[in-house]
Structures are given as structure tokens and as C-alpha cells.
């Protein structure tokens, strides 16, 4: 009986944001942490990120303007994908095609580049897999 109780406790973690004890599945991954999970649950982390964005909105907008100006092909490719999704030409899946995760945002990855002929040649990845693919 004691081993079952220990097993259940291994599934729980205290959120430093809301101070609630939640299932570990409520936390995103963080390889830098001892247990491999972020210290705040997804809900608290999202609230903190929104608060930070509102506080530094001008900085983020200016950074985005500079990035888009420096990479016009990338901007055009991303807009082409958005239009194709809206028109139904491309369908964004519910889960990542790489790892199968469905709780994270699913993004289009231009794995062959941003050239005009490859604008709609994308794979749909979660944010983590997309970052990993971009850094390869």
C-alpha cells in the first residue's frame, strides 16, 4: 500500500506561481531543471508571459519589425502559409508531426527554405520541435 502512495506522489509537483500541488503533466519541459520540468504550471507560465509582453510590448514589436525587414522572404512564406490555412489548402494538424505532442502550439516549419517555390512545403511541429529544427 505504501508503494502505491509513493508512486502517486511522484506524479505531483508544487507550482511556484499558484502554490498548488498539480500533476506533473500540467508543467512544460525544461531540461535545465533537476526534474526536467518548469517551476510554474502551464497556466501560471502563460499568465506571466502575457504580463511580461504587455509590459515590454513596444520592445517586442520593434524587434519583430527589424526581423521582418531583414528577412522579407521569410515573412512572405509565413504569410503564404497563413493564407493557405485560412483557405483550406493546408490543414494544421492537432499534434506535432515529429513528437506527437498536442498541448503545445503547432507551427509550420519551412524545412526546405523560404524560396517562392517552397513557401507551402512545410511540416507542422510543436514549438519545441520547431526550435530544435531551426537550430540544426
**Would you state the pLDDT for residue 104?**
82
**Would you state the pLDDT for residue 125?**
94
pLDDT, mean of each 10-residue run, the chain (136 residues): 63 95 94 93 96 96 92 93 96 92 89 93 93 88
Name, in order, each residue with C-beta under 8 angstroms of 128's C-beta and a sequence gap of 6 or more: 29, 99, 101, 104
**Would you state the pLDDT for residue 103?**
81
Amino acid at each position: 500500500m505504501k508503494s502505491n502512495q509513493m508512486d502517486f506522489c511522484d506524479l505531483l509537483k508544487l507550482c511556484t506561481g499558484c502554490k498548488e500541488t498539480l500533476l506533473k503533466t500540467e508543467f512544460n519541459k525544461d531540461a535545465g531543471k533537476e526534474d526536467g520540468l518548469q517551476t510554474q504550471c502551464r497556466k501560471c507560465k502563460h499568465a506571466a508571459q502575457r504580463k511580461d509582453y504587455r509590459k515590454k510590448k513596444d520592445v517586442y514589436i520593434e524587434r519583430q519589425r527589424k526581423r521582418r525587414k531583414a528577412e522579407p522572404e521569410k515573412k512572405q512564406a509565413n504569410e503564404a502559409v497563413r493564407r493557405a490555412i485560412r483557405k483550406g489548402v493546408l490543414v494544421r494538424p492537432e499534434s506535432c508531426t515529429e513528437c506527437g505532442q498536442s498541448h503545445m502550439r503547432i507551427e509550420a516549419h519551412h524545412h526546405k527554405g523560404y524560396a517562392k517555390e517552397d513557401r507551402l512545403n512545410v511540416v507542422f511541429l510543436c514549438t519545441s520541435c520547431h526550435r530544435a529544427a531551426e537550430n540544426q
